[in-house]
Chain A
């Protein structure tokens, strides 16, 4: 009798502990979700606010303030201005496409030369003078440590001499350099997970080394390449330091445009919010849709 009672007491205790644990876990989860989402929510709603709404710190649309297209109108992207010519919109679109070209171009170039190098390093033994595979790998991966600021000023001077200052090609070259170590890291991990026997069979069947790479290995490694590409894309799209130093009128990217707005005309809340929303939307969409690949890329080589 007493034993059963005891068990019931323990059962009730552990149940309350369990419920308390659940409550704590979900409370923490929702708290952090709020921390992550509130700045986004605030930015998107602010782009629909007018000055008084901002001053009074209104937060909830329709209840506390009525949404207005003001921020988007100042970008030429609101419903009533979208079909009119607008210099601001042209400026914005130019920056936007600069960002697209620079980040896509750099990521693509990095994937091509990075995958080739990673494949070579995982499959063949090299010796260039006294450099062996480990040294070559280290040479590539050590670039990750190099802070942008070390290269920034020499590049400023060199680009001037080479006529690459304020060009998208110049940005693409630098961004490729920036993401190359990460791409090589991810792709090396990817190629290591593919059994060598597959290529050996292909070689026996008469394919050349390059034939085996393109026809056998590449299709298997494609998910890893997508992961590396997405991660590279994110890093390039968000890059600010080099773009701020090396571009001025033609090749200026979206982050530089965003940063230059804050200084010049005081704080024009709704316009800034609209611009920030436009700048983060592409990546937010990528983050939500392709989250699987991003995680794959970030965890490459971390867990054995």
Chain B
């Protein structure tokens, strides 16, 4: 293929289309989109005026606006086809997902920033009061919030321990063993279970102080009065252990896939060259596994940053906030005090911190792997 032809071809995928679209069809498409947008904007303004009490008629709640939005989306899609023909057909593939995500993420997040700057207690009668950055300053001075953030650092660091265990398990499953499928299914099972069920099964019954089997086992080992959720550090470790129990299979499966995709001759060559298994692991297997490892760790950290269910159901952040994650702290802030404004501000600060942290993490990871996202 000549260089010119290569340059003319699209970078990837199917060739571009060149269908002729009459001006009338194009105009009717533009008209359709314009009319639909006008309708959507009109409906929003209309309902807003009604909701603020300026006009007497309107819908009892905002729900009809959802249908108006869907109708607008359909009109937009039809307009694309009318205006751009084949290219419009192609745009239809991504349009539903884009419109869905825009409506459910971008709008609520922007709305969240607005809520965050108000004094808004759902249980009080005064309703919403704009108070600027007051919540922000209050959050900076909140020792419990700082404590929750510090806990998150510890929880994220625990991922490294999980990684070691997961790697060991992946190596075990990759060894020459019988009944590999059985062990793989069994090792995968904890990931299937709902964190709430796990918190009851493990946290509230197996680790129960008096009759729980783990407590009995600890007593047999010589721990006089085992209590897993009363002293701060042991409580933290217990939460970490339970979370690890459910999520280790996730990393294990990814690492196992990496091990199985490893070129066999390289490993064999190391063995032939007289490397001990220990040397072989550190000098051949581990470096080759680095990209998969980084992907697994980054994904696991992203999931870890959302940690909430287990903490809410087992300790509710106790004792004294020792096990609080940011999510569980905000959850309590809402459940106990219905404080929507302050809670949202805490969440927004967390979002900014996470975005900065994950961006740095991905930058760092890119040195090891080419495509993490």
Residues of A that sit less than 8 Å from B by CB: 25-26, 28-29, 32-33, 35-40, 42-43, 46, 54-57, 59, 112-114, 116-117, 119-126, 128, 136-158, 161-164, 173-174, 176-177, 180, 184, 196, 199-200, 203, 208-210, 213, 234, 237-238, 240-241, 244-245, 254-256, 258-259, 262, 267, 269, 272-273, 276, 279-280, 283-284, 286-288, 291, 294-295, 298-299, 301-304
Complex Cα spacing A143 to B330, Å: 20
Complex interface bits, B53-97 against A, C-beta within 8 A gives 1, otherwise 0: 000000001110110000000000000000000100111111011
| Cβ distance B185 to chain A, nearest Cβ, rounded Å | 5
* Cβ-defined contact, A142 with B373, below 8 A: yes
Known A124-B14, A163-B61, A234-B192: A302·B254 in contact at CB below 8 Å:
yes
Chain B residues, CB < 8 A from A142: 373
| Cβ distance B70 to chain A, nearest Cβ, rounded Å | 12
Using CB atoms, name the residue of chain B closest to A30: B183
Chain A residues, CB < 8 A from B245: 35, 39
* Cβ-defined contact, B97 with A150, below 8 A: no
* Cβ-defined contact, A262 with B192, below 8 A: no
Chain B residues, CB < 8 A from A298: 250, 253-254
| Cβ distance B163 to chain A, nearest Cβ, rounded Å | 14
Interface residue B193 (Cβ < 8 Å from any Cβ of A): yes
Complex interface bits, B294-330 against A, C-beta within 8 A gives 1, otherwise 0: 0110000010011011001100000000000011001
* Cβ-defined contact, B62 with A163, below 8 A: yes
* Cβ-defined contact, B189 with A37, below 8 A: yes
Number of A-B contacts (CB under 8 A): 302
Interface residue B331 (Cβ < 8 Å from any Cβ of A): yes
Complex Cα spacing A9 to B180, Å: 32
Partner pick for B189 among A36, A56, A152, A164, CB 8 A cutoff = A36
Known A56-B211, A113-B96, A298-B253: A149·B354 in contact at CB below 8 Å:
no
Interface residue B28 (Cβ < 8 Å from any Cβ of A): no
* Cβ-defined contact, B194 with A279, below 8 A: yes
* Cβ-defined contact, B86 with A209, below 8 A: yes
Partner pick for B194 among A117, A148, A238, CB 8 A cutoff = A238
Known A26-B177, A39-B198, A161-B62: A288·B104 in contact at CB below 8 Å:
no
Interface residue B238 (Cβ < 8 Å from any Cβ of A): no
Chain B residues, CB < 8 A from A286: 192
For chain B, the count of residues having a C-beta within 8 Å of the partner chain is: 102
* Cβ-defined contact, B97 with A116, below 8 A: yes
* Cβ-defined contact, B197 with A255, below 8 A: yes
* Cβ-defined contact, B347 with A237, below 8 A: no
| Cβ distance A252 to chain B, nearest Cβ, rounded Å | 12
| Cβ distance B228 to chain A, nearest Cβ, rounded Å | 14
Interface residue B29 (Cβ < 8 Å from any Cβ of A): no
Interface residue B101 (Cβ < 8 Å from any Cβ of A): yes
Complex Cα spacing A240 to B312, Å: 10
Interface residue B98 (Cβ < 8 Å from any Cβ of A): yes
Complex Cα spacing A267 to B250, Å: 31
* Cβ-defined contact, B257 with A303, below 8 A: yes
* Cβ-defined contact, A43 with B205, below 8 A: yes
| Cβ distance B281 to chain A, nearest Cβ, rounded Å | 13
Complex Cα spacing A259 to B314, Å: 9
Using CB atoms, name the residue of chain A closest to B303: A144
Complex Cα spacing A122 to B254, Å: 23
Complex Cα spacing A280 to B199, Å: 12
Known A116-B94, A291-B185: A272·B104 in contact at CB below 8 Å:
no
| In the complex, chain B residues 203-238 whose Cβ is within 8 Å of any chain A Cβ | 204-206, 208, 210-213, 216
* Cβ-defined contact, B213 with A59, below 8 A: yes
* Cβ-defined contact, B347 with A152, below 8 A: yes
Partner pick for B105 among A26, A120, A146, A147, CB 8 A cutoff = A146
Residues of B that sit less than 8 Å from A by CB: 10-16, 51, 61-63, 65-66, 86, 89-94, 96-98, 100-101, 104-105, 108-109, 111-112, 115, 168-169, 172, 175, 177, 181, 183-202, 204-206, 208, 210-213, 216, 245, 250, 253-254, 257-258, 261, 291-292, 295-296, 302, 305-306, 308-309, 312-313, 326-327, 330-331, 334, 340, 343-344, 347-348, 350-351, 354-355, 358, 371, 373
Complex Cα spacing A43 to B208, Å: 13
Known A37-B189, A126-B91: A144·B302 in contact at CB below 8 Å:
yes
* Cβ-defined contact, B94 with A121, below 8 A: yes
Complex Cα spacing A279 to B193, Å: 9
* Cβ-defined contact, B195 with A238, below 8 A: yes
Known A162-B61, A284-B189: A141·B373 in contact at CB below 8 Å:
yes
* Cβ-defined contact, B101 with A140, below 8 A: yes
Complex Cα spacing A204 to B335, Å: 60
- 5 tightest Cβ-Cβ pairs between the two chains A and B: A120-B93, A117-B97, A238-B194, A299-B257, A287-B192
Partner pick for B109 among A114, A120, A123, A154, CB 8 A cutoff = A154
Known A241-B327, A288-B185, A295-B253: A162·B62 in contact at CB below 8 Å:
yes
Partner pick for B358 among A54, A138, A145, A161, CB 8 A cutoff = A145
Using CB atoms, name the residue of chain A closest to B91: A126
| Cβ distance A271 to chain B, nearest Cβ, rounded Å | 11
Using CB atoms, name the residue of chain B closest to A267: B204
| Cβ distance A225 to chain B, nearest Cβ, rounded Å | 15
Given A33-B183, A116-B94, A125-B12, 16 new contacts (CB under 8 A): A37-B189, A112-B96, A123-B12, A126-B91, A143-B101, A147-B354, A153-B340, A177-B101, A196-B12, A234-B192, A238-B193, A241-B312, A244-B312, A276-B200, A287-B191, A301-B295
Complex Cα spacing A272 to B202, Å: 12
* Cβ-defined contact, A113 with B205, below 8 A: no
Residue with the highest number of chain B CB atoms closer than 10 Å, among A119, A158, A258, A259: A259
